[in-house]
Structure 1
């Protein structure tokens, strides 16, 4: 039997072994599930390297949870944030977005089966200010109409016309990460009049001003053409 045949046989044998299913039945899984149930999984939305130690220290300082918070590095740039109380976890989610060094932290709730290789972040919650609306259109119906174009509405602040400011609407929206952020939009009122409203995003970092997507800088944007001085020589 020549070496090529031997190598082929060994390859087939290895594939059969690798295909054998290993049953996992850890005795302490219930405890592990309890430990993970009050957890968020997060990643900084950036193409640059992150100083993980400094980032974790900053979040610990900002959240002020002391020993009630554990931050576990689980690889692939992911963190597992473990809390002691549901109220603590909810406060961190409701107070987002969080950031470090102009890198936006995207998070989602832990669930069974999540691993570094299958972790996907699709949305980020942001407070959006809607400017340019007439006073008579600052209503619940306007909230719903606008959020349907931007994402999923999570929360609405009290009606501006009934509070101490009536300059803009404030809506908390789950913004899709695969779509560019909208700066403005034409709208029409019930009388058919057409005008424009502007969108301003609160505590926004990591926005590419070329493609309007989050998570990379202009110089790393695939839509950005370098200036003549930056273009390589022919």
Structure 2
């Protein structure tokens, strides 16, 4: 963007009579907040363009939720996955990792006040393979110990 234009935008000030407060109705707000509380935000880790329609259809198919999950493009490459039940949301979080065309899907839980610009993805579920472990370390407990180490990185 042209730096002169940006500077002009930054210097715009409202006059007192232009600073009118706009009240947004709360009739449907409680329903919308409940709907958002059952949602995850996600982004595919890629800079390439991809078929968003196919990615959405694959998520619905893999998650076996059909129309029980609504997928909304909220901008900046971020999708909001709206579930009907808390158990569905938890199932998705617990059964990853998820991807599309080898591009990992990072997910985070919706929080009140989030915008497309304020979403921060801080972790990603991954599957790892460790080759050559001694047989006495091939156990669920050893896997958890190794996983705990990876969570610190």
> For the residues of structure 1 that align with 2:79 and 2:122, how far apart are their CA atoms?
17
Taking a change above 3 Å as real, the CA distance of residues 132 and 72 of structure 1, as seen in their structure-2 partners, is: same
- The 5 A counterparts of 1:191-210 are none
> For the residues of structure 2 that align with 1:141 and 1:73, how far apart are their CA atoms?
40
Taking a change above 3 Å as real, the CA distance of residues 143 and 29 of structure 1, as seen in their structure-2 partners, is: same
- The 5 A counterparts of 1:17-166 are 17=15, 20=19, 22=21, 25-27=24-26, 28-137=28-137, 140=141, 143-144=144-145, 146-151=146-151
Q: Whose strand fraction is larger, Structure 1's or Structure 2's?
A: 1
What is the CA-CA distance between 1:141 and the residue it aligns to?
7.1
> Unaligned regions of 5+ residues in structure 1, if any?
1-7, 153-175, 177-234
CA RMSD of aligned residues (A): 3.0
What is the CA-CA distance between 1:103 and the residue it aligns to?
1.3
> For the residues of structure 2 that align with 1:34 and 1:99, how far apart are their CA atoms?
27
Taking a change above 3 Å as real, the CA distance of residues 128 and 102 of structure 1, as seen in their structure-2 partners, is: closer
What is the CA-CA distance between 1:102 and the residue it aligns to?
1.6
What is the CA-CA distance between 1:16 and the residue it aligns to?
3.6
RCO (CA 8 Å, sep 6+): is it higher in 1 or 2? 2
> Unaligned regions of 5+ residues in structure 2, if any?
1-7
Alignment deviations for residues 123-180 of structure 1 (CA, whole Å, 9 cap, x no partner): 1012333333334455747843x3454215xxxxxxxxxxxxxxxxxxxxxxx6xxxx
Q: Whose helix fraction is larger, Structure 1's or Structure 2's?
A: 2
Larger Rg belongs to:
1
What is the CA-CA distance between 1:24 and the residue it aligns to?
5.3
Q: TM-score, normalised by structure 1?
A: 0.52
